[in-house]
Structure formats: structure tokens, C-alpha cells
Amino acid sequence: MSPAARGATIRMSDVARAVGVSAMTVSRAFKGDDSVRPETRDKILRKAEELGYVFDATAANLRQNRTGFVAVTVPTIDSANFAQTVRALTQGLAREGLQILLANTEYDPAQEEAVIAQLLRRKPEAVVLTGGQHTPRTRQLLRASKLPIVQLWDLPDDPLDHVVGFSNAASIGLLVDHLVSRGRRRIGFLGGDSDRDPRGRQRRAGFVAALARHGLETFRLAPLGEPPISMAAGAAALDALLARHPDTDAVIGVSDLVAFGALAECQRRRIAVPGTLALAGFGNYEIGAVCAPRLTTVDAHAERIGAEAAQLVGALLNGDRSGPPRRIEIPPALIIRETSGEPR
Amino acid sequence: MSPAARGATIRMSDVARAVGVSAMTVSRAFKGDDSVRPETRDKILRKAEELGYVFDATAANLRQNRTGFVAVTVPTIDSANFAQTVRALTQGLAREGLQILLANTEYDPAQEEAVIAQLLRRKPEAVVLTGGQHTPRTRQLLRASKLPIVQLWDLPDDPLDHVVGFSNAASIGLLVDHLVSRGRRRIGFLGGDSDRDPRGRQRRAGFVAALARHGLETFRLAPLGEPPISMAAGAAALDALLARHPDTDAVIGVSDLVAFGALAECQRRRIAVPGTLALAGFGNYEIGAVCAPRLTTVDAHAERIGAEAAQLVGALLNGDRSGPPRRIEIPPALIIRETSGEPR
DNA sequence: ATGAAAGCGCTAACAC
DNA sequence: GTGTTAGCGCTTTCAT
């Protein structure tokens, strides 16, 4: 009785026996080694197909001490910007034969620590952290692993290793400068109030710093609460801000989702945008390019961050591990649309 | 010289030697086996920590012939509905100690076939297909694997195995009935024209069938082109539809994104919604609950699909594999909001 | 161009 | 409660 008929797993040696070669030759045929005669190779692959043989990556990984895994964390995959980054990363790594191991941290450093500890047991060859916040133990685990680490969506002062990101603070500075150039002076900010979203905090800090640079008041801040932040929270925050500061003439949302929530609220309250209130967001979400009026924003190049990270990981795993940690800065781009009004 | 100092990997046997027990005891301690004396266990875990030992799941998987992987495909993770499903699935499976292996098919059956062939080499314990389209070879590979298969987001006539989904056609029927009850008669549909998006096609077919049931004209169809479908395409499709059929009094989008694009276009063209034109979408995206006016839609319960799938996979892998394939139907819910107007 | 032997790090099975 | 032995399915290494 054949192994398949017995219900047993079909191994390389089964294919080898059926063809009349050794397991080694089958192994070589499967990895495309030229040293196998083409006819032998074809015979092997045909027989493998016929027997329903499926290569066992687990066994190969154990022996080779290489898994082809890249561990990836995101606060949540259910956020368009992170999803774009993960998609580009997945595709770029797939081209190198690498498979991502994805985990969500839910914006929680403790959960990040837990998922990273689990992922490390899978013996990934690199770790990509998308906008996380790391406990001391997380940092220790990662350093002890000796793996290449890539931090995304930020430019940390004290990076673990490599970085592909941008300055969240500076990106909001771009928006403030633009709004000021359009004559706005009483500018508010929605969000950036949660400890669980450091990048949001940095954007708010960048907002305050930019206003101060222009000699403007910096107290028009409305909290949004805990991430994930929602459009509805943006609408509520706008209400709260206008209740306290009715003379506000421009508002920046910590993300386009928040800004869009504010825009919808303006439409409901018949507040003219940009006539009475200018609006701007962050992240260049699809919605901002389509809503009426279209939303001024900052493009953080979410996909490009993922693509660059994939390329970096590919290079690092192909032996290019000399030299200091890379720090790839992807400068955000101001996208001026209708909600910030015409120049005055 | 210690293994760590030599730069060599630290194995269980290294921990065992350091503590003065056998590798088996370390193994038991790590899996929480009660038969290890608590003090021994503590000593082992402390020593492991001290030595920087990291459990090697690859070796354990090979030996146990269990990986804890679940292969998951989506057309693209960069779509809010699929991202919600994947997030719920990831979290549900994590509770069972299972790790997802995610791959995007890019709405392409050939790519789906390729990624599934790759994923199967990793020896997943189950395969979850989110809204795919399967080539004969894909079906053959999956059947030959003998693994539990779960198809999501659909109720296929000829399922591979288990199903967690809903009728895309019937869900649009809900919207048509609702619009008709509000006095709309000349109803159009945006999208559902691509072979690469079978669920979109089913929604359009459901639209045509529902109109026919009401004795209404069924020719107000505007194409959107290839997925992923965008808000901007929704705006353009609305233009095309109104150019050919200016008397249209209601429009359904194949998704909320499309419907929102149409809504934005109406705002730009000063078409009153719902006064002149009623609008509805599909998928209960966040945007529909926030935009002004708020969008009538159908909730397909994306998260619940993921959660149910996780539970099903968990049950199947915990021995509950008797009985026929499960077919879990999650009925979509009509969500009536402002864009479909008041009852007449 | 192909094969034989050894071993990757863990755990099932059995022993005590 | 703990230890010994063998082996998971592949590939490294060395041989021919």
C-alpha cells in the first residue's frame, strides 16, 4: 500500500522511491538546483504532482535554520493607513520569498510585548514594528534576538535599529504654515490626547510648536479619547471646540477621518467650509480626495513606507548587514485642496 | 564558554544542563505540564529567562506535526470590510493559540492559486478564504490537503467545505424593497460589472432580480471597472448614469464607498439627496454613519463573520470534525438612514 | 549528476 | 515527578 493510500503524509523519500532516485535529488529538484538533469527534474516534479506531494517548509526551516518569516505588528490592521503599509510590505516581501506573520497590538504596549514574545518563538528573520510603543522588556527581547528590527511611521529619538518613517510633528507644521499663509489665525486641533497613540501626540505637539513659531494662541485643543479614533469622535470634538472657542477659523484633525467627521458636522450645522472655517486632516485617506469640499491634508506615503521597509528587509537578509542602522526618511507632502480656502 | 557567549543558539538542553534536569523536564515546564514540581518549574523558567532562551516553535511543530497556523486569504487587506473580518479572525484565533498566515489575492484567481500553493507548504491546520474565486487547481489543492476549509463572505452553491457568509444578492433585495416602499421607481445601480468581483456581480444580479420582482425597469446600470473599486469611480459612474437616464430617482452603490462618491458628486452638482435622488450603499462602512446626509446601507456584519469563522476553526481543530460541513449564515441587516428619504 | 549519513531542536512513548 | 531513546522531514556535508 502506498503512503498516500495509507493516509500517511507523503514525504520527499516517497517521491524519491517512486522515481528511483534519492531524497537528495528530489530536494535539489524542488529548489531548482541546476545540478539535477532536466529530465530527472521533470520526472520528479511530475511524480510529486501525481502523488500529491506537498513540500514541508517546517522541516526545511528547522534544518536550514531559516524560516522566511518576517514578524509584523500594527496597532490595528483595521485602519486604512496601516493596511496600505502592510499590503505594500506583504507584496514586497513576497517577491523575496518572505511571508509576514501579522499581529495587532490594539494600541497597547503590553499587548505588543505579548505578541512579540509569541512571534519570536516562530523564529522570524526580521521584525517590523508599525507605529508601536515599546515596553522596556519589548526592547530587551528584540535586542536580545539580534534580528534586524525596522520601526515604521515614526522617527524615534532612540531607535531600536532601522527606521522608515517621518516626523509626525513636522507634517502638522506644514499644515499650520499653509493655513497661516491663507490668513487663518485662530486655529484648533482635534485629537492627539491619548497616551496610547504617540504619533497622534506628536502631531498635536507639532501643532502647538508651529503655532508658537507664528506667535499664535495654542489653546484650541479638543480631545478625542482613546484610539482607534473615529469620524464620529471628530464631529463631537468639533462641537466641543466651537462651544469653548466660537471664533475658531481653522481646525486640523489628527487624521483625515477626524477632519471628515468635523466636515460632516459643519455641513449639518451649516457652517461654511472653508468660508467660516477652514479644515485640514492628516494621512491622505481616499475620502479626502472625494468629499465635498475636498480636504486639505498631508500625505504620509503609507504605501511607500511599506515598500521601502520591504526593500530594506530584503537587502538586510541578503547579507547586506554591515554598516550602521538605516534611517530612511519619507518626507510627508502637503496636499492643498478646497477645505483650506483660496489664498488671501 | 557558554552557548550564548559562543554566539550559538540556546536550546532546551542548554537550559536543562544549567538547571540540572533533562530536556524533557524543560519541555514540560514550558508547556505548563502539572507533572513538573512547581519549584523545578520556576527554577527552569527563571534560568531560561536568564540565559535568554527562546522556545523554537519550528522544531516543536515538526515533531508534533502541528503548526498552529491558519492560512487566510483576502482579495486585499486594504479594504475596510475585509480588514474588519481579518482583525476579528486574528483575535479569535489568537485566543486558541493560532497564528494567521495572511496573503492577498489582489482579486485574481491565478494569484489566489499561487499564494495558496505557497501557504500549504507551511502546513497550516485550516484554510480560510475570504471572498475569493477559485480555479479548478485551487479547489483540487485544497481538497487534497484534507484540511478544514472555510469560505467567507458568500454562500457558494458548491462550497469547498464550511461556509460563513450571507447572500449578496438578497442583501441588495433588502435595499430595493426599502426604496420601493419609499416611492422610488426609477432605481439605478453602480458597479457589479467586473468578473474579478463575484460578490459585486451577485449584488448587481440581486438588484436586477428585485426590480423585476417589483415590475420595474432594470436597465439603469453603470459600470465601475476593475476592483478595488474607489469612491472616485462612484462619482464618475453616477455622472454616466444620470447622463443616460436623467430621470433616475434612486441609486444603489455596490458598496458604501461607491455610494459616498455618488453622494459627494450630488453635493457638487447640487442634486438634492434624498429630495431629488435617494442613495444607498452596502457594507455599513463608518463613513455612511457620519456623512451628511447619513447613508442608508446594509450591514454585512464583517466583524461577526471573522469572529464566527474563528470560533468555527477553533471548534474544528479541537476534535469537533464529525458531521457535515457547517454553513453559518449571518443575515445582513438593513440600516435605514437619511439618504433614502422619509416614507411617503 | 547523484547518493549516504548525520543532524536541525523539539517531544511522543515508554521507563522508572 | 523525571529521564532515555528515537524520530519528525528535510538539507548540509562529503563522497563518488
pLDDT value of residue B155: 96
Candidates B59, B83, B235; nearest CB to A77: B83
* Chain A residues near residue B78 by CB distance under 8 angstroms: 80, 83-84, 87
CA distance B194 to B201: 7
Quote the CA–CA distance of A145 and A122 in Å, as a whole number. 12
B170 at A interface, C-beta within 8 A: no
Are A252 and A175 in contact, with CB atoms under 8 Å apart? yes
Whether B185 CB is under 7 Å from strand C = no
User: For each of chain A's 344 residues, which pLDDT tens digit applies?
Assistant: 676 666 779 999 999 999 999 999 999 999 999 999 999 999 999 999 999 999 999 999 999 999 999 999 999 999 999 999 999 999 999 999 999 999 999 999 999 999 999 999 999 999 999 988 999 999 999 999 999 999 999 999 999 999 999 999 999 999 999 999 999 999 999 999 999 999 999 999 999 999 999 999 999 999 999 999 999 999 999 999 999 999 999 999 999 999 999 999 999 999 999 999 999 999 999 999 999 999 999 999 999 999 999 999 999 999 878 789 999 999 999 999 999 997 54
d(CA A181, CA B221): 45
| Selection from A4, A75, A63 nearest residue A229 by Cα | A75
pLDDT of residue A14: 96
Domains (ranges, CATH) in chain A? 3-55 (1.10.260.40), 69-166+302-331 (3.40.50.2300), 168-299 (3.40.50.2300)
Cα–Cα nearest to A90, from B83, B249, B264, B324 = B83
Q: Is the peptide bond before B109 cis (omega within 30 degrees of 0)?
A: no
Min Cα–Cα distance to chain A from B88, Å: 10
Residues of chain B with pLDDT under 70: 1, 4-6, 343-344
Strand partners, B175: none
Q: Taking CA atoms, what residue in B is nearest to A59? A: B62
Rounded distance, CA B125 to CA A58, Å? 13
Rounded Cα distance between B153 and B139, Å, is 17
Nucleotide nearest to A65 (CA to C1'): C8
Residues 241-260 of A with CB under 8 A from B: 257, 260
Q: What is the pLDDT of residue A1?
A: 62
Q: Do A118 and B101 touch (CB under 8 A)?
A: no
Residues in chain A: 344
Bases of chain C below 7 A from a protein C-beta are 1-5, 7-13
- Among all chains, which residue has been given the C-alpha cell 500517511? A8
C-beta separation of B259 from B232 below 8 A = no
- First-residue to last-residue Cα distance in chain B: 86
Which bases of chain D are contacted by protein, using any atom under 7 A from a CB?
1-5, 7-13
Is A27 (CB) below 7 Å from strand C? no
β-bridge pairing A333-335 and A297-299: antiparallel
For cell 515546564, the residue is: B29
What is the rounded CA–CA span in Å between residue A152 and residue A165? 5
Instruction: Give B29's contacts (C-beta < 8 A, 6+ positions apart).
Output: B36, B40, B41, B44, B45
Reading phi first (left if > 0) and then psi (alpha if -120 to 50, else beta), residue B66 is in beta
User: What pLDDT sits at residue B156?
Assistant: 96
